[in-house]
Structure 1
């Protein structure tokens, strides 16, 4: 028994080494390794273009108050004070104060309906009962004009627009990570495991389908048992995944050193509840569980597909199932301890992501020992079942054993 196990393990490692070398020691692997950087760059370029367009539209936007000249100074002064309350990204558009031309209602309507579309909202009439017109996206600006009219009336009753208080603002550096920071770390863990698993486990399906179509699997099956081929391919692609994760994990660990001070301080507020060293080990363990589960399933599907069309048809339902798993895990990250969180932590294919989120939200370590044993059980079941189904899918691609011809009946 021990000799057979050693022989099967040696054969599996031989297949794993073959797949690892065939994948890593190629020029295209460098493109694959750097593909996240290309994705980030393209996303940043698209985001910069979209933000430039939005900023251009925001720079042209205006709000208008149609008021008598004796009220203009109070309106402008009050507007200047109110703008200090808003953050940089939420400041209302610049204010224009127009003198009534005899028909304030028509004047306000005309500026809002102008073809340029730059005026989001316009106020006219007495400030105690103003009328505010606004366009399709100007509801917030209309609310601001209503508050502006209220504050101008208060200033007029006081007889001055000067500030009544002089606050002293002191910044305090927060050292403790809040629940919001834990939730952000949980969401990051879920999305990282999901994207890494989806991105890397898909390699096994494509590689398996390719080698099945060009009959390489049949050659391997003639030399070693199919179970060793299955385990070898799973181990080989897992080695590629660890190399990928190790490279980008090292890069990510140095990101804070090159970020601006403000960004680095905000990033420091995103931390797991179990501590960073323990979380790193748990994240790696749950990624391994997720990859082995999903990778085995993808390897099975790749063995069943004989054409690229069948491969694509099989990949789509699996991606939909993965999206459902990440949806449950995201809900578990946002609402730890709830019913959905329990379901996501127990269901084997979502358990790695949900438990990684649990590690970010809760400092307790003992649930992870139970979860890893539970996931190991399912990994063994899936791999055992997958090896049998893998044999069925691979053997179906060959001609199969030839049947002996029955002897011809005697004269």
Structure 2
């Protein structure tokens, strides 16, 4: 094991140095220009998730008679203006209208965005500043329409720090952004592992290395060298992005904070990107072991790329289904696990689950690497049990 690690380090250092100090690495650093264009073009992919996240529910704590009138008015306006134009109303029966009770209710009920109290003639809307300002105009329209005699209604607003609903919505936005960044970086960078291996197979360099170093060490070294190159590129891109953001300025406190906090979330982003890269890269190594030409590489890698998109869609659609079977499947399936777990980091503050997930992903990466080595030995080096049987058969038959 120690010798394998040492040999892998030698291969990783060789490949990393050759890539970093090559002329083409500069053009590689220009890569973010393309994913930015792709991200803008694909901005509509999360429309359904955004609708799930922004499903606003306002609790109604007014007299039963006025509540029934308000519900009927909301139904009538929804038919003419559209169901999404009006917030969903839920009547809170036998509920105190005291401000302390209203705040406690908002904190305890994650489904509630705000609470409407008072009367139709003098309504009071309580909630976070963002939610109250968003729905103040619609509540005014509802109250004015519900009154038998047209009158100007002035909605009194009461702001609280942050409701559970708005906090959950912000965390979901962070989870959505984290997954999008991971999938873009992984799909752009992991394919370089495949091209590197096929190039050395064509030049017969890989066979020379295999004669002196165990194949496991070669594959590990190449995989971690490409990961190191990817992390260097990400560091450069992040530095440039932060520099531009600081120069432009902005309200950094308005960024939705993940459940684990920004420092830990940043560390987990690095870990889960590394694991997603290693998982996909090890799979590409297996493809490179079977391919002999560039055309075969393109043919074999296309299903993997499409499969990676399906994996991303699986984890992306499971963001709003935390704890449900489809979300657990995304967490346990190795290739979608990094994306599903980074979404959990944005929504859940317990850290032990991330340790288990990283160990599980690392074990599966080693399994794929081992399988890729077996394929390489059989298809390229012509070694292994199948190759020995074929050689024995040829000696016996004289063919």
**TM-score (normalizing by structure 1):** 0.62
Matches within 5 A, 1:74-93: none
Is residue 293 of structure 1 aligned with residue 289 of structure 2? no
Query: What's the offset of the Cα at 1:209?
Result: 1.3
Is residue 382 of structure 1 aligned with residue 368 of structure 2? yes
Q: Structure 1: which 5+ runs fail to align?
A: 48-89, 91-150
1:257, 1:197 → 2: CA distance? 26
Whether the 8 Å CA contact 1:332–1:357 is kept in 2: the answer is no
Post-superposition Cα deviations, 1:109-132, rounded to whole Å, max 9, x if no partner, equal xxxxxxxxxxxxxxxxxxxxxxxx
1:313, 1:259 → 2: CA distance? 44
Matches within 5 A, 1:399-410: none
Is residue 217 of structure 1 aligned with residue 206 of structure 2? yes
The answer for the alignment partner of 2:173 in structure 1 is: 184
Of 28, 31, 42, the match for 1:32: 28
Is residue 193 of structure 1 aligned with residue 179 of structure 2? no
Is residue 164 of structure 1 aligned with residue 159 of structure 2? no
| Paired residue total | 291
Q: Structure 2: which 5+ runs fail to align?
A: 43-84, 86-143
Matches within 5 A, 1:268-347: 268=255, 270-347=256-333
Q: 1:294 to 1:10 in 2, by over 3 A?
A: same
1:344, 1:41 → 2: CA distance? 28
Query: What's the offset of the Cα at 1:358?
Result: 0.7
The answer for the alignment partner of 1:123 in structure 2 is: none
Post-superposition Cα deviations, 1:41-85, rounded to whole Å, max 9, x if no partner, equal 6977x89xxxxxxxxxxxxxxxxxxxxxxxxxxxxxxxxxxxxxx
Query: What's the offset of the Cα at 1:214?
Result: 2.2
- Structure 1 residue matching 2:349: 3-state secondary structure: coil
Q: 1:369 to 1:13 in 2, by over 3 A?
A: closer
**TM-score (normalizing by structure 2):** 0.63
Q: 1:216 to 1:278 in 2, by over 3 A?
A: same
The answer for the alignment partner of 2:93 in structure 1 is: none
Query: What's the offset of the Cα at 1:274?
Result: 0.9
1:379, 1:169 → 2: CA distance? 54
- Structure 2 residue matching 1:35: 3-state secondary structure: coil
Whether the 8 Å CA contact 1:333–1:341 is kept in 2: the answer is yes
Q: 1:21 to 1:237 in 2, by over 3 A?
A: same
2:153, 2:343 → 1: CA distance? 45
Q: 1:169 to 1:236 in 2, by over 3 A?
A: same
Matches within 5 A, 1:215-294: 215-254=204-243, 256-259=245-248, 261=250, 264=252, 266=254, 268=255, 270-294=256-280
Whether the 8 Å CA contact 1:213–1:306 is kept in 2: the answer is yes
2:225, 2:379 → 1: CA distance? 20
Post-superposition Cα deviations, 1:202-239, rounded to whole Å, max 9, x if no partner, equal 10011111221222212222332222211211121111
Name the larger-Rg structure: 1
RMSD: 3.7
The answer for the alignment partner of 1:18 in structure 2 is: 14
1:383, 1:406 → 2: CA distance? 32
Whether the 8 Å CA contact 1:293–1:379 is kept in 2: the answer is yes
2:379, 2:219 → 1: CA distance? 11
Is residue 353 of structure 1 aligned with residue 339 of structure 2? yes
Q: 1:258 to 1:354 in 2, by over 3 A?
A: same
Query: What's the offset of the Cα at 1:17?
Result: 1.5
The answer for the alignment partner of 2:69 in structure 1 is: none
